[in-house]
């Protein structure tokens, strides 16, 4: 039987996490395997701090045993931290081996008056990323109900209604990784933030890879987290609308929306607020002839009447109904022109945004 060899490069979000992992290595926990016998292998530390593990398995079955068994053994040591270490190994392993995995789950959690926090769920590891915890209590309840431990917080921007729960979570889980933009890290305005991201940075959740996208306008540090067919857009792109322009300029916001609009049309959009009905009522004023807007408004009103979230629709729906992504449409241009200077797409966007501000 031919031998199966693979190499794993693990990077750790924080030095503390790496230190803990190295200690476990020294103490021999990493060699532990529940089923399938001991694994042969070596572990070395690269100068850049990465941990490189090289393992040999007699068969794919032995590898599978390691995958499940090691996770159990390692997790017994120190749950959140070590499982994170394992998740990082898996991330690389998966790329090498092409293993199958459960579909991604996104669970909206209603917070405050009309905010959404989101849980990004890994059922196998029983772990979750919390996106924009507006407040701790409802998010904790949702985590408990699903039996999940949070390992990361991702913040789209620093506004209180998106980070209000950070402190309580960091207190409860001191090793939590808290991500936001580098801009917000330098301004020290996201509580507990551990890493500052710039446009294009990769963010891992277990085997899943996401990308930070800089989308300034609503705030200068605004970020989207994009990957695996979903995008968390904070207060920049809403279902049927967009956020107010507080720190940036109109053309900055327009550019950010254009970037989001160029994602694959199937990307599901998860935004920071439940504003969809009001947004589409406005959209219907901008484009009174649009059957797409009327149909979507009806669908969303029905969802809301049943107290169900309207978020998570594909980008294609936004492209068809969201006036802030439709500055090239004659009806939108005409609406803007009735309100002032509207020759360029940037002007069209600005006029529509101004009209929405007083809607
Ligand atoms: Zn905001
Ligand atoms: Fe907000």
Tens-place pLDDT, residues 53-95: 666 666 666 666 555 544 333 332 333 333 444 444 444 444 4
Using pLDDT thresholds of 50, 70 and 90, give the confidence band for residue 123: confident
Give me the catalytic one of 122, 184, 235, 347. 235
Measured distance CA(58)–CA(30) in Å, rounded: 18
Asked whether residue 353 carries a pLDDT value surpassing 80, the answer given is yes
* CATH code for the domain in which residue 12 is found: 3.30.70.100
Say how many Å lie between the CA of residue 35 and the centre of ligand 1.
49
Question: Within this chain, do residues 14 and 109 fall inside the same structural domain, yes or no?
Answer: no
Question: Within this chain, do residues 141 and 163 fall inside the same structural domain, yes or no?
Answer: yes
Question: Within this chain, do residues 84 and 139 fall inside the same structural domain, yes or no?
Answer: no
Tally of domains within the chain: 2
List the domain range (segments joined by +) for residue 236: 105-357
Question: Within this chain, do residues 70 and 196 fall inside the same structural domain, yes or no?
Answer: no
Question: Within this chain, do residues 88 and 139 fall inside the same structural domain, yes or no?
Answer: no
Mean pLDDT of 211-216: 97
Q: Which residues surround ligand 2, an ion (CB under 5 A)?
A: 161, 235, 272
Say how many Å lie between the CA of residue 118 and the centre of ligand 2.
13
Measured distance CA(193)–CA(251) in Å, rounded: 29
Say how many Å lie between the CA of residue 243 and the centre of ligand 1.
7
Last residue of a domain, one of 76, 101, 126: 101
Question: Within this chain, do residues 119 and 206 fall inside the same structural domain, yes or no?
Answer: yes
Question: Within this chain, do residues 80 and 128 fall inside the same structural domain, yes or no?
Answer: no
Is 161 marked active-site? Answer: yes
Bridging pattern class, strands 241-242 and 127-131: unpaired
Question: Within this chain, do residues 92 and 170 fall inside the same structural domain, yes or no?
Answer: no
Q: Contact at 8 Å (CB) between 134 and 165?
A: yes
Last residue of a domain, one of 39, 71, 101: 101
Say how many Å lie between the CA of residue 165 and the centre of ligand 2.
13
Say how many Å lie between the CA of residue 246 and the centre of ligand 1.
9
Is 29 marked active-site? Answer: no
Asked whether residue 103 carries a pLDDT value surpassing 60, the answer given is yes
The string of pLDDT tens digits covering residues 255-285 is 999 999 999 999 999 999 999 999 999 999 9
The string of pLDDT tens digits covering residues 142-200 is 999 999 999 999 999 999 999 999 999 999 998 899 999 999 999 999 999 999 999 99
Asked whether residue 305 carries a pLDDT value surpassing 90, the answer given is yes
Give me the catalytic one of 122, 132, 161, 317. 161
Question: Within this chain, do residues 8 and 111 fall inside the same structural domain, yes or no?
Answer: no
pLDDT at 80: 30
Is 157 marked active-site? Answer: yes
Say how many Å lie between the CA of residue 128 and the centre of ligand 1.
23
Question: Within this chain, do residues 96 and 113 fall inside the same structural domain, yes or no?
Answer: no
Say how many Å lie between the CA of residue 40 and the centre of ligand 2.
51
Asked whether residue 139 carries a pLDDT value surpassing 90, the answer given is yes
Give me the catalytic one of 162, 175, 317, 347. 162
Last residue of a domain, one of 101, 119, 146: 101
Question: Within this chain, do residues 120 and 196 fall inside the same structural domain, yes or no?
Answer: yes
Global pTM value: 0.75
pLDDT at 44: 67
Question: Within this chain, do residues 122 and 7 fall inside the same structural domain, yes or no?
Answer: no
Using pLDDT thresholds of 50, 70 and 90, give the confidence band for residue 125: confident
Give me the catalytic one of 122, 158, 183, 218. 218
Give me the catalytic one of 122, 157, 175, 347. 157
């Amino acid at each position: 039987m031919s031998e199966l060899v693979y190499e794993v490069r693990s990077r750790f979000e924080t030095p503390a996490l790496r230190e803990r992992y190295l200690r476990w290595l020294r103490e021999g926990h990493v060699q532990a395997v529940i089923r399938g016998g001991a694994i042969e292998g070596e572990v070395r530390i690269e100068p850049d701090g990465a941990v490189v593990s090289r393992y040999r398995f007699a068969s794919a079955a032995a590898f599978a045993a390691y995958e499940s068994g090691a996770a159990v053994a390692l997790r017994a040591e120190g749950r959140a931290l070590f499982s994170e270490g394992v998740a990082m190994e898996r991330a690389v392993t998966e790329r090498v081996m092409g293993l199958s995995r459960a579909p991604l789950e996104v669970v909206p959690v209603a917070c405050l008056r009309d905010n959404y926090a989101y849980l990004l769920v890994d059922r196998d590891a029983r772990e979750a990323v919390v996106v924009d915890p507006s407040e701790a209590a409802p998010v904790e309840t949702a985590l408990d109900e699903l039996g999940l431990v949070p390992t990361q917080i991702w913040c789209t921007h620093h506004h209180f209604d998106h980070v209000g729960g950070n402190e309580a979570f960091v207190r409860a889980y001191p090793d939590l990784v808290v991500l936001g933009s580098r801009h917000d890290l330098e301004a020290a305005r996201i509580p507990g933030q551990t890493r500052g991201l710039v446009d294009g940075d990769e963010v891992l959740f277990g085997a899943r890879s996401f990308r930070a996208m800089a989308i300034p306008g609503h705030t200068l540090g605004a970020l989207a987290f994009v990957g695996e067919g979903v995008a968390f857009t904070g207060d920049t792109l809403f279902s049927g609308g967009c956020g107010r322009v507080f720190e940036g300029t109109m053309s900055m916001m327009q550019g950010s929306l254009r970037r989001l609009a160029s994602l694959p049309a199937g990307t599901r959009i998860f935004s920071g607020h439940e504003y969809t009905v009001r947004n589409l009522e406005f959209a219907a004023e901008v484009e009174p002839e649009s059957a797409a807007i009327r149909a979507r408004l009806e669908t969303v009103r029905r969802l809301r009447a049943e107290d169900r979230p309207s978020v998570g629709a594909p980008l294609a729906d936004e492209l068809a109904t969201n006036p802030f992504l439709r500055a090239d449409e004659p009806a939108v241009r005409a609406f803007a022109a009735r309100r002032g200077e509207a020759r360029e797409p940037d002007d069209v966007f600005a006029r529509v945004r101004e009209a929405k501000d007083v809607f």
